[in-house]
Amino acid sequence: MEQVLDFAKRLLLPHCHFHGVYLDGTMGNGQDTLFLAENCPESLLYAFDIQEEALFQTRTLLAKHHLAACLIRDSHEHLDHYVKKPLDAAIFNFGYLPNGDKTIATTADSSLSAVQKALSLLKDTGILVLVCYPGHPAGAEEAKALENWARALDASAYNVIKYDFINKHQPPFVLAIEHRTAKKSADTDKIDMDSKTES
Ligand SMILES: C[S@@+](CC[C@H](N)C(=O)[O-])C[C@H]1O[C@@H](n2cnc3c(N)ncnc32)[C@H](O)[C@@H]1O
């Protein structure tokens, strides 16, 4: 079974293409930004973090791979000040910088505000992927708030899933949200493919 970060990337992959618009709401050490930069060539890629250390790590990682992105030192709750085009996909990997200062972590209020803004910018074919960490005190409150928000989204407009290791205590989990039209167009593509295969 895939770990949450691998599962999150697998959800993103079908949405990765040339000339798209992508968002990493929490750049950290840059692994998710690198994944998007590698898989979405010639795209507009925005990555946010409040720590200079994260920008340094991510800039260094991207340079090693001869890739680039718009690295923004600001809270993701202000993403609408920078991102003006509809998004193909967005990922938020919440919590604190791995091997960094654990007291600088995402918080329920700003995370909620950021994901609401990201969802409002999402294309009809887009996906929003959230990796939540309820295993630390602030993370528990944040994860609950994000899950409650996602559960309350109109089911006639959005498909929402949770990927969760239910026999563990407070494991990290993934929430993913897509417009129902995205699912419909994927099904239509599949029917087209099937009819091509048959003929
Ligand atoms: C788990 S790490 C992200 C991991 C990262 N995506 C990677 O691939 O390495 C969470 C990051 O969120 C950042 N962060 C905390 N509050 C934030 C905020 N309000 N806006 C943007 N980033 C924030 C932290 O500084 C930390 O670097």
Distance 16 CA to ligand 1 centre (A): 21
Residue 102: what pLDDT?
87
Residue extents of the structural domains in the chain: 4-198
Each residue's pLDDT, cut to its tens digit, for the chain (199 residues) gives 999 999 999 999 999 999 999 999 999 999 999 999 999 999 999 999 999 999 999 999 999 999 999 999 999 999 999 999 999 999 999 999 988 888 999 999 999 999 999 999 999 999 999 999 999 888 999 999 999 999 999 999 999 999 999 999 999 999 999 998 765 555 555 555 555 444 4
Using most ligand atoms within 8 A of CB, pick from 9, 26, 36, 102 the residue to mutate for ligand 1.
26
The tokens describing 182, both together, are 């995205």
pTM summary value:
0.92
Give ligand 1 pocket residues (Cβ under 6 A): 26-32, 48-51, 54, 75-76, 93, 95-97, 104-106, 110
Report how far ligand 1's centroid is from the alpha carbon of 154 (Å). Answer: 28
Q: Which fold has domain 4-198?
A: Rossmann fold (3.40.50)
Backbone phi and psi for residue 21, each to the nearest 5 degrees, phi listed first? -130, 125
Q: Which of 99, 54, 59, 44 is nearest to 75 (CA)?
A: 54
